[in-house]
Homo-oligomer: A and B are copies of this chain.
Amino acid sequence: MARVIVDVMLKPEILDPQGQAIARALPRLGFSGVSEVRQGKRFEVEIDGPADEAALAEVRKMAETLLANTVIEDYSVRVEAE
C-alpha cells in the first residue's frame, strides 16, 4: 500500500477567478500581506503495490487521462506515504 498525491493547478497564464475571489475576501476578514491566492485540486490515490517507478508512471497516466485537463491545468505526482 502506498499513498500517491496528485496536485492539479491551473496553468499560470490561465485566469483563476476562484483564487482571486479569495484574495479579495481576505482583507475584508482582517487578513493582510497576501499578494495572490490560487486554488486547485488535490487527489490522494491509494495504490495496492509499492510506489515504484512503474506505479508512478501509471498514476501520471491517470492524471493525464482523468484527473487533470492538461489544456489548462498542470499536475504533479509525488509519493506521500509508503
State the A residues within 8 Å of B (CB): 1, 7-9, 19, 22, 25-26, 29, 31, 33-49, 55, 58, 61-62, 65-67
- Can you add 5 more A-B contacts, CB < 8 Å, to A34-B47, A40-B42? A22-B66, A35-B48, A37-B45, A39-B42, A41-B41
Assuming the A-B contacts A62-B26, A66-B29, are A46 and B41 also in contact, with contact meaning beta carbons closer than 8 angstroms in the complex? no
Q: For the complex formed by this chain, how many copies does it contain in all?
A: 2
Q: Are B1 and A44 in contact (CB under 8 A)?
A: no
Q: For A45, give its contact among B7, B34, B44 (CB under 8 Å).
A: B34
Give chain B residues whose Cβ lies under 8 Å from the Cβ of A61: 31
Q: Are B22 and A67 in contact (CB under 8 A)?
A: yes
Q: Are B31 and A39 in contact (CB under 8 A)?
A: no
Give chain B residues whose Cβ lies under 8 Å from the Cβ of A55: 33
